[in-house]
Amino acid sequence: MRVIDSHTGGEPTRIIIEGGPDLGDGPISDRRALFAEKYDHYRTMCVCEPRCSDATVGALLCDPVDPTCTAGVIFFNTAGYLGMCGHGVIGLLVTLAYLGKINPGAHRIETPVGIVTAELLTANKVRLENIESYRFRSNVTVNVPGLGAVTGDVAWGGNWFFLVDGTPLALSLKNVSELTHVSSKIRRALSDAGVTGKGGAEIDHVEFFQDPPESDADSRNFVLCPGGAYDRSPCGTGTSAKLACLAADGKLDPEEIWVQESIVGSRFAASYRVGKGGGVIPSITGEAFVFGETQLVFQNDDPFRLGIA
Ligand code: PYC
């Protein structure tokens, strides 16, 4: 298996460019279902320990169905599969440019939740236009054991998010393990209380915000990802969910720039235009850098050949 590693604002993306599963040529959402059902070991071989870790989002580069698209992609991590991944699309474009496969300009990318457009601005800078994002429920209060009542919004940005009002602790790296612990408890409490996204979808990402932060950004966030790791980037789908909530509250106008900073200090410049379905079409600009080209080896006698899943 040949992979290219990059990071977007510190958040790693590992793209399988050779040696992935053959998922046929059906719609990308069907291919993701087939990946999960029959070829899940490719996911664990690629992103689980000992070859990788739960901070990384994996991506399978696919041929698109739609000939106007540059590529298709299926994102996954140590816990399962993602709908979309904003930092991952930025990493994908930068990787394709690094490989000499694309030129600057706009590229349509098929994902399991729809087509996104991403513009390669320079070798490392990408502007992503995400799928329509929206707030699903506002002011939801859940009782969290040991914490008490926690209130926030449920929103879709390509994945399901619970956006907590404020933060229980300062958003600094020294608090990462406590923030991870508290956000995991909130995620469990949401599930126990039956709070879901549309159609009963699991809310697998939890966000805390410091608005405004101590820096000159508009907001700093902490994002708990499904595998239990925190997003080192400001999270493209999480920032999309945030824009949807800001728009719904009348706190951000269309085309106004929102600078979202992550807990490691990396930034996305974000804005939105009004979507056809009543939500927002987020635009997210960020930078990615390639840092590795690897041939993964799977020896027959290796007891952890398929990864520690
Ligand atoms: O950037 O959308 C994102 C993302 C999702 C999970 C990790 N990063």
Domain 2-130+290-295 and domain 134-274 have a common topology: yes
Give yes or no: 85 in active site: yes
Q: Which CATH number, 3.40.640.10, 3.40.630.30, 3.10.310.10, 2.160.10.10, labels domain 2-130+290-295?
A: 3.10.310.10
Per-residue pLDDT tens listing for the chain (309 residues): 999 999 999 999 999 999 999 999 999 999 999 999 999 999 999 999 999 999 999 999 999 999 999 999 999 999 999 999 999 999 999 999 999 999 999 999 999 999 999 999 999 999 999 999 999 999 999 999 999 999 999 999 999 999 999 899 999 999 999 999 999 999 999 999 999 999 999 999 999 999 999 999 999 999 999 999 999 999 999 999 999 999 999 999 999 999 999 999 999 999 999 999 999 999 999 999 999 999 999 999 999 999 998
Give yes or no: 235 in active site: yes
Q: Is 185 exposed, middle or buried (0-12, 13-18, 19+ CB in 10 A)?
A: middle
> Of 64, 66, 130, 60, nearest to 95 (Cα)?
60
Give CA–CA dist 69/65, Å, rounded.
Answer: 8
Would you kindly state where each structural domain of the chain is located, as residue ranges?
Answer: 2-130+290-295, 134-274
At how many degrees (to 10) do helices 86-98 and 236-248 cross? 140
Q: Which CATH number, 3.30.70.1560, 3.90.25.10, 3.10.310.10, 3.90.1150.10, labels domain 134-274?
A: 3.10.310.10
CB of residue 235 inside a 6 A radius of ligand 1: yes
129 near 285, Cβ under 8 Å?
Answer: no
CB of residue 85 inside a 6 A radius of ligand 1: yes
pLDDT of residue 103: 97
CB of residue 233 inside a 6 A radius of ligand 1: yes
ipTM for the assembly: 0.99
Give CA–CA dist 192/213, Å, rounded.
Answer: 32
Model pTM score: 0.97
Q: Which atom of ligand 1 is nearest to 85's Cα?
A: 2
Q: Is 106 exposed, middle or buried (0-12, 13-18, 19+ CB in 10 A)?
A: exposed
Ligand 1 centroid to residue 247 C-alpha, Å: 21
User: Which residue among 15, 116, 156, 225 is best mutated to probe the pocket of ligand 1, counting the most ligand atoms within 8 A of its Cβ?
Assistant: 225
CB of residue 229 inside a 6 A radius of ligand 1: no
Token pair for 156: 């879709």
